[in-house]
Amino acid sequence: MKLVLLHKANSIYEDEPDVVYDFPRAYLKAMQEAVGDWVVYYEPVKAGPRGYFAVARIDRVIPKPGMAGRFLALITPGSFLAFDRHVPRLMNGRPLEAALTGAAGQVLQGGRVQLAVRRLPEPDFARIVNLGLPENLEELEARRYDPHPPAQFDEGAAIFERPVVERLSRRPYREIAFARKVRAAYGYRCAMSGLMLRNGGGRPEVQAAHIRPVARQGSDSPRNGLALSGTLHWMFDRGLISVADDGETILVSRNKVPGEVVSRLLAPDGKLLPPLDPRDAPHPENLRWHRENVFGQVLADAPADWLPPQAPGGIDQP
């Protein structure tokens, strides 16, 4: 059974949409029935403008430690995916959830509308997801800057109809959805250099880097991403650079990166460019994971042979 989960940014509860959802006993039965199935996150009108903004799958439900009467729904690692576009509660004046629509088509007030956990029929789920994550997202990205898209996207080619859940599980589709969201979050600028570079066709030369890789239990949340130039993405993945626990100071493994490289590639103030929406800022836990597990470690299969063998150390050296 699928659900709608209400979520407010800066919630007083321990909600991290890509990790865990905190809820009271009143919703326990519905949450238990939804284990193994998908949920859609919704931001109430009074909390912000996003409406329906993401999808995820519930892995299991456990009692919240030390809090009688409260429970935690743990999100299946790698299942969270932010919508490419926010989906409003109303379309043409009518709710997207059939349960919120009166017999005469009017918008219901109070009651179910105010529930933090709502059951969501399959047709409503499919409609909301298709609005937020279009089936042809890969085609949209291919056509975005390229006047001559790949052959598989030629005019007249039939779009392959994939079930919604199958599409949500496909890695290529998720990679494109993640990249579009992260690059847009930073205004198509590199978060570490501040530069917006475009190729001759107008395509931004900025990539979406996972802070914690999906293969290491990282999510496809924008809060687990940074928009980086190709070179800085390479350096970030290999532990040559990271971000301090203040969430903005760029760390450099100075025994591996010469000073002239730092001065050419990073912003002069050594600070991370903030995203346009503070809610997309890197999560502190993801940055901590990167510092503790990647920073200072150059992968054996990709030596940084462009660096001097004995560059002087520095205060940022882990």
Structural Rg of the chain based on CA atoms: 22
CA distance 307 to 256: 6
CB 179 within 8 A of CB 207: yes
Q: Is the pLDDT of residue 144 over 90?
A: no
Q: Is the pLDDT of residue 139 over 60?
A: yes
| Domain range summary for the chain, segments of one domain joined by + | 2-132, 134-163, 170-293
Determine which of 23-27, 49-53, 103-107, 257-261 has the lowest per-residue pLDDT on average.
103-107
- Which residue bears the tokens 């790949």? 150
Identify the pLDDT of residue 70: 96
Q: Is the pLDDT of residue 10 over 80?
A: no
Closest CA to 204 of 213, 214, 191: 191
Sequence-ordered list of residues with C-beta below 8 angstroms from that of 306, at least 6 positions apart, any chain:
none
Fold of 2-132: ph1033 like fold (3.10.590)
Identify the pLDDT of residue 46: 76
Identify the pLDDT of residue 309: 37
Q: Is the pLDDT of residue 312 over 70?
A: no
Identify the pLDDT of residue 193: 95
Tell me which of 254 and 111 has the higher pLDDT.
254
pLDDT digits (tens, 9 = 90+) for 225-257: 999 999 999 999 999 999 999 999 999 987 788
Identify the pLDDT of residue 222: 97
Please tell me what DSSP assigns to residue 21: E
SS percent in the chain: helix, strand, coil, step 5: 30, 25, 50
Identify the pLDDT of residue 149: 57
Each as own residue / partner, the long-range contacts of residues 287-290 (CB below 8 Å, 24 or more positions apart, any chain) are 287/211, 287/242, 287/243, 287/244, 287/245, 287/247, 288/245, 289/211, 289/212, 289/216, 289/218, 290/211, 290/212, 290/236, 290/242, 290/243
Would you put residue 111 in left (φ > 0), alpha (ψ -120 to 50) or beta?
Answer: left
Average of per-residue pLDDT values in the chain:
86
Closest CA to 141 of 110, 101, 108, 184: 184
Identify the pLDDT of residue 47: 66
| In 8-65, alpha helices (H) | 28-33
pLDDT digits (tens, 9 = 90+) for 281-304: 999 999 999 999 999 875 544 445
pLDDT digits (tens, 9 = 90+) for 62-102: 999 999 999 999 999 999 999 999 999 888 888 999 888 88
CA distance 221 to 187: 17
Q: Enter the pTM of the model.
A: 0.84
Sequence-ordered list of residues with C-beta below 8 angstroms from that of 112, at least 6 positions apart, any chain:
99, 100, 118
Sequence-ordered list of residues with C-beta below 8 angstroms from that of 179, at least 6 positions apart, any chain:
141, 207, 208
Identify the pLDDT of residue 200: 58
Tell me which of 232 and 148 has the higher pLDDT.
232
Per-residue pLDDT band for 150 (boundaries 50, 70, 90) equals low
pLDDT digits (tens, 9 = 90+) for 157-207: 333 345 899 999 999 999 999 999 999 999 999 999 999 877 656 677 899
